[in-house]
Structure 1
Amino acid sequence: MNLISGQFPKEDALDILTRMVHAKISYHEQKIHGSLNEEDIKMRENRIKQLQKDLYDCRREMDQKEGMIRLSAQLELA
């Protein structure tokens, strides 16, 4: 499934990316609130931290680019 494919103004690309990451973070937060398993909670907390770091890194990289930003996101069911 092709989720995103195209070139976007920097502000739009950042908005799309931020919303996608926040959706994943929200998913993990919901799972944490419903879990009693410490290992699962720790794993999800670490995943949230990694997503936040990745978003920060992408923002910094985007800030250095001029013009349009190309985004591509594929979903593969395996």
Structure 2
Amino acid sequence: MNIQLLEGEFNTNEALELITKMIAVKIKFHEGKICNSHQEEDIKSRENKIKKLQNSIHDIRLNLSKNATSVHLESSIQIK
């Protein structure tokens, strides 16, 4: 099963907003799991995932500012 979340041309501001909001949802998911976890290993793993996601947002901002006025985005979820 494949769920198409988004596909199309977006100006760089719209693209940044969409990507940032999608990553923010994933960060909140991990933060919620951290609050409910009592295992230090799980907490550290999720904290590392959050840091990687935050770094991704930073990298995306840098790349989009160098890019043209619009970009093509595609995002989907594959369920196997």
Shorter-chain TM-score range: over 0.9
Structure 2 counterpart of 1:61: 63
The residue identity in structure 2 corresponding to 1:65 is N
Deviation of 1:55 after TM superposition, in Å, equals: 1.0
Q: 1:43 aligns with which of 22, 37, 45?
A: 45
The residue identity in structure 2 corresponding to 1:10 is T
> In the comparison of the two structures, how many residue pairs are matched?
78
Deviations 1:44-68 (A, max 9, x none): 0000000000111111000001121
Identity within the alignment, %: 37
Unaligned runs of 5+ in 2: none
Q: Give the TM-score of the pair, scaled to structure 1.
A: 0.96
Q: Which runs of 4+ in 1 moved over 4 A?
A: none
Tell me which protein shows more strand as a share of its residues.
2
Deviations 1:1-20 (A, max 9, x none): 11110010111100000000
2:36 & 2:5 partners in 1: Cα distance?
28
The residue identity in structure 1 corresponding to 2:64 is M
1:77 & 1:37 partners in 2: Cα distance?
28
The residue identity in structure 2 corresponding to 1:20 is M
Unaligned runs of 5+ in 1: none
Report the RMSD for the aligned CA atoms in angstroms: 0.7
Q: Give the TM-score of the pair, scaled to structure 2.
A: 0.94
Q: 2:5 aligns with which of 3, 6, 14?
A: 3
